[in-house]
């Protein structure tokens, strides 16, 4: 199952995190949470891992619409965007909101998911 929108870039990890954050802001998203997976795994279980961050992105107007249409959608929020560096390449991926339609049988969610997907695709394309 293809559940992400992804690209690989020649930008460094740090540049990619900054660029994706900037592009998300242009599309109306703010970052609610930042999880540094590498740091967390090292601190919690003393495991070395490559650079990997999970950004919890939220577009408040779309989150509000989604919550009005389907209260349980909060289980799938915020929109997770990941950036990681592996083998000298940096990858940026965002969860494909259309997958929600496969999980939630509420037709009111479809147009919301389509618009959020279009915005996330523009973010990924701009990085």
pLDDT tens digits for range 74-127: 999 999 999 999 988 999 999 999 998 888 989 999 999 999 999 999 999 999
DSSP-assigned letter for residue 73: G
> What is the arithmetic mean of pLDDT over 28-32?
98
Q: Containing domain of residue 62, as a range?
A: 4-126
| Residue 2, pLDDT score | 80
Neighbour tally for 57: CB within 10 Å: 27
Using alpha carbons, select from 13, 36, 33, 26 the residue that is nearest to residue 87: 13
DSSP-assigned letter for residue 116: H
Neighbour tally for 102: CB within 10 Å: 9
Using alpha carbons, select from 31, 48, 28, 30 the residue that is nearest to residue 39: 48
Q: What is the mean pLDDT of the chain?
A: 95
| Residue 82, pLDDT score | 98
| CATH code for the domain of 25 | 3.30.310.70
> What is the arithmetic mean of pLDDT over 25-46?
98
Give 40's pLDDT tier (boundaries 50, 70, 90): very high
> What is the arithmetic mean of pLDDT over 3-13?
95
Cα-Cα-Cα-Cα torsion 68, 73, 79, 85, nearest 10 degrees, comes to 180
Residue with tokens 């900037």: 22
**Count of domains observed in the chain:** 1
The Cα–Cα gap between 43 and 118 comes to 36
């Amino acid at each position: 199952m293809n559940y992400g929108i992804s690209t690989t870039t020649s930008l460094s990890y740090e540049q990619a995190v900054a660029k994706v954050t900037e592009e998300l802001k242009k599309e109306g998203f703010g970052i609610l949470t930042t999880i540094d997976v590498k740091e967390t795994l090292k601190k919690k279980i003393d495991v070395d891992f490559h650079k990997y961050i999970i950004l919890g992105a939220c577009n408040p107007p779309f989150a509000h619409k989604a919550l009005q249409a389907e209260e349980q959608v909060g289980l799938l929020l915020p929109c997770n965007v990941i950036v990681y560096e592996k083998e000298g390449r940096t990858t940026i991926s965002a969860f494909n909101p259309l997958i929600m339609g496969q999980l939630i049988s509420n037709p009111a969610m479809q147009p919301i998911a389509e618009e959020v997907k279009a915005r996330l695709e523009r973010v990924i394309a701009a990085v």
